[in-house]
Every structure is written in C-alpha cells, then in structure tokens.
Amino acid sequence: MNREEFLAFPDVVIKPVVVKEMNDATLFVRSLNAGEKARWEFDSISLDNTAKQGSKISMTKDRMITSRERLVEIAVCNEDGTRFFKEGDAAAIGRKNANIISQLYDVAADLSGISQKDLEQITKNSESQTADVAS
C-alpha cells in the first residue's frame, strides 16, 4: 500500500443497532475519524488564557456530564453514513432512555477505539492543572 492508497482507503465502519425499546427500530452508528475523535475528547476541556503565569486547563463539568450524549450525537448516522443528529442535539439526547443511549454510546466507542482508559486519561490530564502555553 502506498500513501495515496492509504489516504483514499474507505475505512469508515457503519454498524446497524436494533433498539428494542423503540419497537426494534434500526439506527446506524459509524466510527469517528481521528479528527472527530480528538475534537470529542478535547471538547470537555476549558482553556483559560487570562492567567498571568500560564494558562489554566480544567474540565468543563457540563461538557463532561454530556460526553456520552455528544458521542451519540456525532456517531449515530443514516445508513449512508451522513449525520442523523444535528449539532446541539446532545441535550435532547440526554432526555432519552439511558439504556438506549448507553447502547449507542458503547457501539460508537467500540467502533472509534474509545476505551475507559482513554476517558480516565482525559479526566486526569484536565483536572484543574496549570500549563504554560506559548504565545
């Protein structure tokens, strides 16, 4: 395989998920690409550049609480891979049956290589640390 073949290779995985709680409706969940995964991981982090001695990096509580719903918002798709939910639907998703959202989240996390260890690392790296940020 050469560079062009690698970059052009269609590697998105789409998996159908039957949701029993919704009359056996079939939803589709796709793998995130690396950029989407990085944005999802760091969307929970807040950066305060007003500190005089470096910048404060901290978790945004509301964003951490909705991280599961945000992953579902990004990863649930139509059969052709286009997004099912709109940007900002995470709050409405959070009002749905927790078992349904957990099922969709688990599939999305598996397809995208998101593990419990990843989540713990994000939390650990973000808990009210101070970091110097070059201007």
Q: Which of 65, 47, 38 is nearest to 129 (CA)?
A: 47
Bridge-partner residues for 50, per DSSP?
A: none
Whether the pLDDT of residue 131 is over 50: the answer is no
**pLDDT tens-digit map of 27-59:** 999 999 999 998 888 776 655 555 555 555 555
Q: Quick one: tokens of 58?
A: 């901290």
Selected from 3.40.50.970, 3.40.50.2020, 3.30.70.920, 3.30.2220.20, the CATH number assigned to the domain covering 16-126 reads 3.30.2220.20
Rounded to 10°, the helix 67-75/34-42 angle is 160
**pLDDT tens-digit map of 4-32:** 999 999 999 999 999 999 999 999 999 99
Residue 67: the pLDDT is: 87
Q: In this structure, what is the dihedral angle of CA atoms 97, 102, 103, 107, given to the nearest 10 degrees? A: 150
For residues 40 and 2, give the distance between their C-alpha atoms in angstroms, rounded to a whole number.
Answer: 29
For residues 6 and 18, give the distance between their C-alpha atoms in angstroms, rounded to a whole number.
Answer: 32
Q: How far apart are the first and last CA of the chain?
A: 40
**pLDDT tens-digit map of 60-103:** 555 556 789 999 999 999 999 999 999 999 999 999 999 999 99
Residue 129: the pLDDT is: 45
